Amino acid sequence: MNKATQPRMIQRYTTSQRINHWIIAITFVLLAVSGLALFHPSFYWMSNLLGGGVWTRILHPFIGVLMALCFFVFAARMFRHNFLTRADIEWMRHAPDMLNMKEERLPEQGRYNGGQKLLFFALIFLVLGLLLTGVVMWRSYFSHWFSIELIRLSSLLHALFAFLMICAIIVHIYAGIWVKGSIRAMTRGTVTPGWVWKHHRAWLRELRGTPTHDK
């Protein structure tokens, strides 16, 4: 498209939101890789990413705290966009249509669709769970405050929450790859009006009349 026919872009994320998102993303990858290294022996080689087993043990919890902090700031900023509505429940009921590219059968969605909101709340629960269980497991500073039974339970739950989080993020990343035009929302901050029209039409209705962002 030449410049004349280029559509007016719509701002989806601010610069600071994008920076925040990518700090979370980078720390998540470091955490997932180093955590998997300690979860299953077949992944132990991945402990090399942080400089070996000992460095993995030292750094993983600190990176975890950083991710949790950044995540909660991000979640707080996104919170008001993620209240569940009737249309979201309807979306969830029609999730197979979404996967089969029958998006026209779905109710119009706002800034976030039902699946995204579900992921949003799942991640809040999982990050909180990982933070709390992780603190209990953190031998250098905290474990001596807790009973052995609680440490065992936390170890099991930490693995479970991490497993669920990795699965959730696999879905999140895949959605970004599959729905073309989404990734630029997090790399450049903007999406095309056609993308909003197709995937978040109710949001486009909200935007109508308000000034859009030229780029």
Partner 1 sequence: MSLQSLDIKRRSATTTPPPGVRGEVVGDGVAKLIDTTQCIGCKACQVACMEWNDLRDEIGSNVGVYDNPADLTDQSWTVMRFSEYENTAGDLEWLIRKDGCMHCEDPGCLKACPSPGAIIQYHNGIVDFHQENCIGCGYCITGCPFDIPRLSDKDKKAYKCTLCSDRVAVGQEPACVKTCPTGAIVFGTKEDMKQHADGRIADLKSRGFDNAGLYDPGGVGGTHVMYVLHHADRPGLYNDLPKDPEISPMVAVWKGVAKPLGVAAMAFAALAGFFHYIRTGPNETDEEDERKAKEFMDE
Query: Catalytic one among 60, 172, 200, 213?
Result: 172
Residue of 14, 178, 213, 215 interacting with partner 1 (CB under 8 A): 178
Residue of 23, 73, 160, 202 interacting with partner 1 (CB under 8 A): 160
User: What is the spatial distance between Cα 215 and Cα 187, in angstroms, rounded to a whole number?
Assistant: 14
Please compute, for residue 213, the number of CA atoms within 13 A of its CA located in the half-sphere on the CB side. Answer: 13
Rule CB under 8 A: is residue 4 a binding residue for partner 1?
no
Stretch in the footprint of partner 1 (CB under 8 A) among 13-21, 22-30, 71-79, 161-169:
161-169
Rule CB under 8 A: is residue 193 a binding residue for partner 1?
yes
Diameter over CA atoms, the chain: 67
Q: Which residues contact 156 (CB under 8 A, 6 or more apart)?
A: none
Helix, strand, or coil here: 41? helix
Rule CB under 8 A: is residue 56 a binding residue for partner 1?
yes
For residues 108, 186, 163, 115, the Cα torsion angle rounded to the nearest 10 degrees is 0
Interface positions with partner 1 (CB under 8 A):
7-8, 37-44, 47, 52-54, 56-57, 99-101, 103, 137, 139-140, 143, 148-149, 151-153, 155-156, 159-160, 163, 166-167, 170-171, 174, 177-181, 192-199, 204, 207-208, 212
